[in-house]
Amino acid sequence: MLVKDQTATFHDCAECPIRHRAVCARCDADELELLEGIKYYRSYEAGQRIIWSGDRMEFVGSVVSGIASLTQTMEDGRTQMVGLLLPSDFVGRPGRAEAAYDVVATTDLVMCCFRKKPFEQLMETTPHIAQRLLQMTLDELDAAREWMLVLGRKTAREKIASLLAIIGRRDTSLHMGKLSERVTFDLPLTREAMADYLGLTLETVSRQMTALKKDGVIELEGKRHVVVPDMDRLLAEAGDDSDGGLLD
């Protein structure tokens, strides 16, 4: 399987695509070697569940490639996505035995895993890891709070625009720097996943996508490929005062 083959190419941390953004970002060569000793790769297919809420967690790790989602579900089936895990994002919580959320692979996914115990021990002796993890956790907390504003106070149209803006911005920051020009990306989420993220129904997501298209805020090629002719316009629709948003 293609995904399996990819993993082989990451064996050396020095050449890892997320080397400078993940939890190991601050580690020097010596520390990296210690991490290499306890790491292993795992691949998942799109749709596969990685972790069940309430399960015992035997590992923590980083997303290397692909996208996963953190979700919570109520007894009656209502679900809310509470996090989008992108390459370099950390999964799992040191010091906690059981998972608090479901983690599901949204696309095909590769993770760099560490068994939990050894990782926790390493954290005690390697301040660089704990420091980086603190930084990343603070960033995630900011993103979560930004998202609370979206969930609590924005209209359906603004919610969609906000989501598109995040994804668009992230994709662009990876490629080149020029914003507020024509931006193009693929939606990694189904309408249903978008609805779960935004606290809407998939019908409402669909209607608002159509409306944004009709108003010229976005263009659609197929269902998943999005073109944003004017990023500032999109940000205005999102209700953002064009300053930074999530995920800096």
Partner DNA sequence: CGCAGAATTGATACATCTCAAGCTGGGTGG
Partner DNA sequence: CCACCCAGCTTGAGATGTATCAATTCTGCG
One-letter amino acid at 29 equals A
Q: Does 118 bind a copy of itself (CB under 8 A)?
A: no
Among 3, 21, 42, 72, binds a copy of itself (CB under 8 A): 72
Where along the sequence are the contacts to DNA (CB under 7 A)? 155-157, 190-192, 199-207, 209-210, 220, 222-224
Long-range contacts (CB closer than 8 Å, 24 or more residues apart) made by 75-79: 79/196
Considering the complex, state which of residue 98 and residue 192 has its C-beta at the smaller distance from DNA. Answer: 192
Distance CA 206, CA 230 (A): 21
Asked if 112 and 72 touch (Cβ cutoff 8 Å), the reply is no
Which parts of 130-149 interact with a copy of itself (CB under 8 A)? 130-131, 133-135, 137-138, 140-142, 144-149
Which residue stretch of 38-46, 70-78, 171-179, 219-227 sits at the interface with a copy of itself (rule: CB under 8 A)? 70-78
**Considering CB distances under 5 to 8 angstroms, the limit depending on partner class, which of a copy of itself, DNA, none binds residue 134?**
a copy of itself
**Residue count, binding to a copy of itself (CB under 8 A):** 39
Residues linked to residue 138 through DSSP beta bridges, in sequence order: none
Question: How far does the chain reach from its first CA to its final CA, in angstroms?
Answer: 34
Q: Smallest distance, Å, CB 164 to DNA? A: 13
**Considering CB distances under 5 to 8 angstroms, the limit depending on partner class, which of a copy of itself, DNA, none binds residue 146?**
a copy of itself
Distance CA 83, CA 68 (A): 9
Token couple for 179: 């914003």
Q: Which DSSP string do the residues of 121-158 spell out, in sequence order?
A: HHHHH-HHHHHHHHHHHHHHHHHHHHHHHHHHH--HHH
Buried b (16+ CB within 10 A) or exposed e, 62-74: bbbbbbbbbbeee
**Considering CB distances under 5 to 8 angstroms, the limit depending on partner class, which of a copy of itself, DNA, none binds residue 15?**
none
Considering the complex, state which of residue 16 and residue 50 has its C-beta at the smaller distance from DNA. Answer: 50
Contacts of 126 (CB under 8 A, 6+ apart): 27, 31, 34
Considering the complex, state which of residue 121 and residue 210 has its C-beta at the smaller distance from DNA. Answer: 210
**Considering CB distances under 5 to 8 angstroms, the limit depending on partner class, which of DNA, a copy of itself, none binds residue 191?**
DNA
Contacts of 124 (CB under 8 A, 6+ apart): none
Binding region for a copy of itself (CB under 8 A): 70, 72, 74-76, 78-80, 82-83, 93, 95-96, 100-101, 127, 130-131, 133-135, 137-138, 140-142, 144-149, 151-153, 198-199, 239, 241
